[in-house]
């Protein structure tokens, strides 16, 4: 092709057709510029397509991770609700001076249960490594960041403040006053009357009950936020794939 253009220029010059040569030269320059612009446009399109596909891939990975988080959040919420019910039922039995019944064993075994949020952070860390701006939807990007950096972290702080600090004390109490333990299920009091009159244990139940109420509120909020993010990611992925 280059030889072809050179031949045309040579013929025009040899024939003394300077005017036609000038027009031809200008036309050739225009063609070169157009070719460069087309190449740049194709390159930009390819880069844009790569970013588009990477955004869809990243959002799909995040959605999958959040769905796993949602299962863990719901499991932990149910766990806290059972723990709260156990505290309430034991306090009710003590306040009403109810006699011992083995139906109370489940509450003795469940009042101190703890649970740990295990969220899937891999997809979010991948997002940060690729660049948060890869998600073009500002609102969705903010929702994802808020869920991970605020909502999840607040639950972890609540766990550390309430749950972990009580593990050893509850363990010592169980070893001293309970038997026939079935972890997360039941425990049998060695002396029910003694336990029911133990003010330290009553105060522990009330403290644990309040901490669980706070945890339940935080977990429910996290579940709502997580469900919203999953739904919005799905909508965004559908829009991007059209």
Tell me the three state secondary structure of residue 1.
Answer: coil
Considering only CA atoms, give the Rg of the chain: 34
Tell me which residue of 96, 84, 46, 50 sits closest to 162, measured CA to CA: 84
pLDDT digits (tens, 9 = 90+) for 210-241: 888 988 999 999 999 999 999 999 999 999 98
In sequence order, the 6+-apart residues with CB closer than 8 A to the CB of 31 are none
Q: What is the mean pLDDT of residues 24-42?
A: 61
Tell me which residue of 162, 180, 213, 176 sits closest to 109, measured CA to CA: 180
Encoded tokens for 54? 């990477």
In sequence order, the 6+-apart residues with CB closer than 8 A to the CB of 67 are 230
Pairing state between β 178-182 and 186-189: antiparallel
Instruction: Kindly tell me if the per-residue pLDDT of 12 is higher than 50.
Output: no
Distance CA 210, CA 241 (A): 47
Residue listed under structure tokens 């109810």: 98
Q: Residue 10: how many CA atoms within 13 Å on its side-chain side?
A: 6
Report field, pTM of the whole predicted structure over 0.95: no
Buried b (16+ CB within 10 A) or exposed e, 6-36: eeeeeebeeeeeeeebeeeeeeeeeeeeeee
In sequence order, the 6+-apart residues with CB closer than 8 A to the CB of 24 are 8, 9, 12
The predicted pLDDT at position 188 comes to 92
The predicted pLDDT at position 2 comes to 46
pLDDT digits (tens, 9 = 90+) for 181-205: 887 788 999 999 999 999 988 988 9
Q: What is the mean pLDDT of residues 8-15?
A: 53
């Amino acid at each position: 092709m280059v030889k072809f253009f050179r031949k045309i220029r040579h013929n025009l010059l040899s024939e003394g057709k300077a005017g036609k040569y000038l027009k031809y030269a200008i036309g050739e320059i225009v063609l070169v510029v157009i070719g460069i612009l087309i190449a740049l446009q194709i390159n930009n399109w390819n880069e844009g397509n790569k970013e588009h596909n990477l955004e869809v891939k990243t959002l799909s990975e995040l959605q999958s991770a959040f769905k796993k988080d949602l299962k863990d959040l719901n499991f932990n919420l149910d766990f806290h609700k059972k723990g709260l019910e156990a505290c309430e039922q034991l306090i009710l039995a003590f306040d009403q001076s109810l006699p011992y019944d083995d139906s109370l064993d489940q509450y003795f075994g469940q009042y101190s249960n703890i649970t740990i949020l295990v969220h899937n952070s891999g997809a979010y860390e991948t997002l940060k490594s690729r660049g948060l701006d890869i998600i073009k939807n500002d609102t969705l990007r903010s929702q994802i960041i808020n869920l991970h950096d605020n909502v999840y972290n607040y639950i972890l702080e609540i766990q550390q403040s309430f749950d972990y600090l009580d593990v050893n004390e509850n363990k010592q109490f169980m070893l001293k006053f309970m038997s026939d333990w079935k972890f997360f299920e039941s425990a049998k009091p060695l002396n029910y009357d003694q336990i029911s009159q133990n003010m330290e244990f009553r105060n522990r139940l009330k403290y644990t009950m309040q901490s669980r109420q706070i945890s339940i509120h935080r977990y429910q909020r996290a579940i709502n936020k997580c469900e919203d993010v999953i739904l919005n990611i799905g909508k965004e992925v559908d829009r991007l794939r059209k």
